[in-house]
């Protein structure tokens, strides 16, 4: 089942083309990667998928076989959680980790009675699963990069959606925290979550994704299986770099990596 389908998508800001003639679909439960050089339109695409930005848009975006413009923002929030590339902590001055994660429960909010015991219990459970209960009372502005990313993920999990959008999620993480959160994201996918991840790391896209979308200058260069991408010349054409490919053992499979 296609949980997302994009047809002939074109998007402009101030008459400047940001995305041109984009066509792809994403299956429910898929791990889908979006890669490409800076300025390719990757982050813009994610924001369009969850209705965060508007502009001169043509073409169609379907979420669960329904045009996105037919959804309210609240309805979208019941299906899609978005984790931004950067959170401006200064915009959440005085917010604790617990406060921020609790915002993920807004879609369940009872306007008369506010948050329920179930909401608070859900947040506590998620904090424990991500091993961040110990700093739930700390302010966002005091967190390290790894701690902040875990907090953003916790808020997305509190939202309890079918789809999670990740925008350069591991950009600011050290190797330990990156590997830790990579494993956590894989488990979410195995549990049935559809994961759409923008990344600059080609090797992560190849290893973890079912399919890869490649963008450059807002245009679609490739959409398909990692294996076909590996053995094509697409990466070199898109990134203007000569790649060497070697293989290593990963999960009992021989996996090519780019150098």
Q: Is residue 135 part of a domain?
A: yes
Q: Do 173 and 66 lie in a common domain?
A: yes
Q: Is residue 65 part of a domain?
A: yes
Q: Do 11 and 73 lie in a common domain?
A: yes
Per-residue confidence (pLDDT) for residue 250, from 0 to 100: 52
CA-closest candidate to residue 31, choices 156, 139, 147, 188: 188
Q: Do 71 and 176 lie in a common domain?
A: yes
Q: Is residue 109 part of a domain?
A: yes
Q: Do 64 and 118 lie in a common domain?
A: no
Q: Do 241 and 144 lie in a common domain?
A: no
Q: What is the pLDDT of residues 93-122, one digit of tens each?
A: 789 999 999 999 988 887 777 889 999 999
Per-residue confidence (pLDDT) for residue 124, from 0 to 100: 96
Q: Is residue 49 part of a domain?
A: yes
Q: What is the pLDDT of residues 49-95, one digit of tens each?
A: 998 887 778 899 999 999 999 999 889 999 999 998 777 656 677 89
More confident call, 27 vs 236: 27
Per-residue confidence (pLDDT) for residue 240, from 0 to 100: 82
Q: Do 123 and 137 lie in a common domain?
A: yes
Does residue 98 contact residue 119 with C-beta atoms inside 8 Å? Answer: no
Other CB atoms within 10 A of residue 111 CB: 5
Q: Do 138 and 250 lie in a common domain?
A: no
Q: Do 150 and 178 lie in a common domain?
A: no
Q: Tell me the pairing of strands 194-198 and 163-167.
A: parallel
Q: Do 129 and 188 lie in a common domain?
A: no
Between the CA of residue 188 and those of 170, 175, 194, 246, what are the distances in Å?
16, 20, 8, 29
Q: Do 196 and 183 lie in a common domain?
A: yes
CA max distance for the chain: 60
Q: Is residue 24 part of a domain?
A: yes
Q: Do 97 and 12 lie in a common domain?
A: no
- Whole-prediction pTM: 0.89
Q: Which of 110, 130, 160 is the last residue of a domain?
A: 160
Q: What is the pLDDT of residues 173-195, one digit of tens each?
A: 788 888 888 889 999 999 999 99
CATH label of the domain that carries residue 231: 3.40.50.300
Q: Which of 138, 160, 182 is the last residue of a domain?
A: 160
Number of domains in the chain: 2
Q: State yes or no: pLDDT of 252 exceeds 60.
A: no
Between the CA of residue 159 and those of 40, 78, 129, 178, what are the distances in Å?
29, 7, 15, 22
Q: Which of 144, 160, 176 is the last residue of a domain?
A: 160
Rounded to an integer, the average pLDDT of 206-229 is 91
Q: Is residue 84 part of a domain?
A: no
Q: In terms of residue numbers, what domain contains 174?
A: 2-79+162-258
Q: Do 131 and 116 lie in a common domain?
A: yes
Q: Is residue 202 part of a domain?
A: yes
């Amino acid at each position: 089942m296609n949980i997302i389908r994009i047809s002939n998508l074109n998007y402009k800001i101030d008459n400047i083309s940001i995305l041109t003639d984009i066509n792809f679909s994403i299956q429910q439960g898929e791990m889908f990667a979006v890669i490409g050089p800076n300025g390719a339109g990757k982050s813009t695409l994610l924001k369009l998928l969850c209705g965060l930005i508007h502009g001169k848009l043509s073409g169609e975006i379907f979420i669960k076989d329904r045009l996105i413009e037919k959804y309210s923002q609240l309805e979208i929030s019941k299906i899609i959680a978005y984790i931004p590339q950067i959170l401006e902590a200064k915009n959440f001055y005085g917010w604790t980790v617990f406060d921020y994660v609790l915002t993920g429960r807004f879609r369940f909010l009872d306007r008369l009675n506010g948050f329920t015991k179930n909401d608070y219990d859900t947040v506590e459970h998620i904090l424990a699963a991500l091993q961040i209960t110990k700093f739930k009372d700390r302010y966002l502005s005091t967190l390290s990069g790894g701690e902040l990313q875990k907090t953003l993920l916790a808020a997305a999990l509190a939202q309890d959606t079918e789809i999670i959008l990740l925008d350069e999620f591991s950009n600011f993480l050290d190797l330990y925290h990156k590997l830790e959160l990579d494993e956590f994201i894989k488990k979410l996918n195995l549990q049935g979550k559809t994961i759409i991840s923008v990344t600059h790391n080609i090797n992560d896209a190849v290893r973890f994704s079912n399919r890869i979308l490649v963008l450059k200058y807002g245009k679609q260069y490739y959409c398909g299986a990692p294996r076909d991408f590996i053995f094509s010349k697409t990466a070199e054409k898109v990134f203007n770099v000569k790649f060497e490919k070697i293989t290593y053992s990963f999960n009992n499979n021989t996996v090519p990596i780019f150098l």
